[in-house]
Structure 1
Amino acid sequence: GELMDVRDGYLYLVAVDGFRISMRRTKVQSDQNFKVTVPGKALTEINKILETEEDSVATISFTGKHALFTMNNTIVLTRLLEGQFLNYQRNLSMDFSSKVIVDKQELLDSVDRAALISRESKNSPIRLDIQDKTMLITSNAENGTAHEEVPIELEGNGLTIAFNPKYYLDALKAVSDEKIEILYSSALTPCIIQATEGEDYKYFILPIRLHN
């Protein structure tokens, strides 16, 4: 399920799995603060409806253990999930010692090309060597090795860190901004990918341990 956290005039939509947390923030009209967990499949269907509607505005109401989404002539009723949702705010507000600023599309294209090699080997991560002005992206598999290089701005210390290429690409594809920030502290602790301005998107992702 996905968390809908409404507070102070914003909707925070949060999805989690064992390796990552995705948070998207958008303004809403609401005089109440509340949290509910909605099945992910229902939200996927609602998103498809909104993409086909000219007036992409949804009204959400709650009836006991259900949520009612009204979009023009379409109404979707879905049950709410019970149980405690992960404290995502604690994870997304961690302190980080270093920050990379990079062109999102350039990084996305480079990681995508490097990931072509790793796709042939299910357990092959992409490796990021973060240096003063450059990020070196490499991927090794039985069928070859890929090398990419992207210019960056670095605040803090460089390091070498590795990720599941699919998870990393998912994070980059979800951001619409031209520039992004990558926050990290070490090769074994999570990093956060977010826009350089505003708090509308955060993606928390766990790295993969590199074996020498």
Structure 2
Amino acid sequence: MRIIIERSNLLRSLGHIQRVVERRNTIPILSNVLLKTEEGAGLRLKATDLDLEITETAPAEIEMAGATTVPAHLLYDIVRKLPDGAEVKLGLNEGGTQMTVSAGRSNFRLQCLPEADFPDITTGTFSHSFTMKAQALARLVERTQFAISTEETRYYLNGIYFHALEVDGASRLRAVATDGHRLARAEADAPAGVEGMPGIIVPRKAVGELQKLLGEAGEDGDVAVELSDSKIRFTLGTVVMTSKLIDGTFPDYQRVIPQNNDKALTLDRSTFSAAVDRVSTISSERGRAVKLAISDSQLVLTVNSPESGTATEELAVGYDSDAIEIGFNAKYLLDITGQLSGEDTVFMLADPGSPTLIKDGGDEGTLYVLMPMRV
């Protein structure tokens, strides 16, 4: 194997690939990236942690075909430190036990493991496929990913639940995430091909990597999505990401979305978010509870901290129902307001012990449910 590749092309591909590789592995081959020449395409790179796999093809000049695996993070660090514009030469020794990496006067020899030992998780057929705008999928992910649970015992909440449904006669693709304290729901027009698609749970790590890839796709980029019973594959240009799905049943989230909350609080999103951020400065990390005292067109935010003191702030709001006092986790409030797109936000309240419904004035398809705290 002998190839010549531009440093920028190799660095970009390794930047995508090496993020999948865990820093510590009990299985040595999983610390490596697979490098394989592709006829007429260039150099194919692949990395996996057995649940998630990313492959990318980079343009390269192939002098001799071949394949091997080398430590992913080590190769990335080497290429990252090479000078801009450098031509990188990669070559294997006769026994295939070492790969040379050279650029200018820099030369490295890396230990290799055989290609045959590298695992492949992409076997199987995909029953559903569709293509949608990368920006539309990115919006679904961004609006919901913060609510993914990190509690491993409830593994079926450790991802985003995607499913297709009919809303007012229109086909929609919906994303939902919850950790039991808050719920985030967003939806977009369903692309052709989602009909009959089963509900799937995409794991948290895959969601994080997908979010980064979608962010690089640009406004006009497309993403191809393929589904099987146990896996999902996303294709964005030369990058292909395949992930196992969470094998579990997502709870009936519709049951926790309140239907009869009749107290409407309308407020300016940015003003409210800034006020919550200011008063929560005084709170300890353990509590982080902020009390909302709401009466005629006025909202008073209060935070009490036994160690630090008290903070209050008044806001003018739209509210004409009975006075109510309710407490929320300040971080959760800031997470939600940070995802809202409209200037105005509506809180639909019931009583101090019941979940609150938060609607985005700029997006009817997005809503949030937040459980209150005792204050």
TM-score under structure 2 length normalisation: 0.53
Contact 1:192 1:204 in 2 (8 A): yes
CA distance in 2, matches of 1:196, 1:50: 25
Q: How does 1:18-167 map to 2 (within 5 A)?
A: 18-31=180-193, 32-33=195-196, 34-54=198-218, 55-118=220-283, 120-141=284-305, 142-167=307-332
- Aligned partners of 1:14 and 1:37: how far apart in 2? 9
Matching residue of 1:15: 177
Task: Report the CA distance shift for 1:30/1:155 in structure 2 as closer, same or farther (over 3 A).
Answer: farther
Residue 124 of structure 1, CA deviation: 4.0
Specify the alignment match of 2:336 in structure 1: 171
Shift in Å, 1:198: 4.5
In structure 2, C-alpha distance between the alignment counterparts of 1:121 and 1:62, rounded to whole Å? 41
Q: CA deviation at 1:52?
A: 1.3
C-alpha spacing 1:208/1:93, structure 2 compared with 1 (3 Å)? closer
Shift of 1:172: 0.7
User: 2:277 is paired with a residue of what secondary structure?
Assistant: helix
Contact in 2 for aligned 1:68/1:77 (Cα 8 Å): yes
Amino acid at match of 2:212: K
Residue range with higher mean Cα deviation, 137-146 or 177-186: 137-146
Residue 169 of structure 1 deviates from its aligned partner by: 0.8
- In 1, the alpha carbon distance for the partners of 2:320 and 2:253 equals 25
Give yes or no for contact 1:59–1:70 (8 Å, CA) kept in 2: yes
One-letter identity of the residue aligned with 1:177: G
Which segments of 5 or more consecutive residues in structure 1 lack a partner in the other structure?
none
User: What is the rounded CA distance, in whole Å, between the counterparts of 1:59 and 1:194 in structure 2?
Assistant: 30
> What is the rounded CA distance, in whole Å, between the counterparts of 1:195 and 1:184 in structure 2?
15
Matched letter for residue 145 of structure 1: T
* Aligned-partner Cα distance in 2 for 1:179–1:146: 24
- Residue identity matched to 1:134: Q
Letter in 1 for 2:322: N
Deviation at 1:65, TM superposition (A): 0.8
Question: Could you tell me whether the CA contact under 8 Å between 1:124 and 1:140 is conserved in 2?
Answer: no
Q: Which has the higher contact order (CA 8 A, sep 6+)?
A: 1
- Secondary structure of 1:153's match? coil
Max Rg structure: 2
1:145 is displaced (CA, Å) by: 1.3
Structure 2 unaligned runs (5+)?
A: 1-158
Counterpart of 2:185 in 1: which secondary structure?
Answer: strand
Q: Is the 8 A contact 1:50 1:57 kept in 2?
A: no
Question: Partners in 2 of 1:62 and 1:12 — Cα distance?
Answer: 16
Give the number of aligned pairs: 209
Change (3 A) 1:157 1:196: farther
SS in 2 for 1:154: coil
Residue of structure 2 in register with 1:4 after alignment: 162
Cα offset for 1:59? Answer: 1.8
What SS class does the counterpart of residue 53 from structure 1 fall into? coil
RMSD: 1.6
Q: Alpha-carbon deviation of 1:157?
A: 2.3
> What is the one-letter code of the residue matched to 1:203?
Y
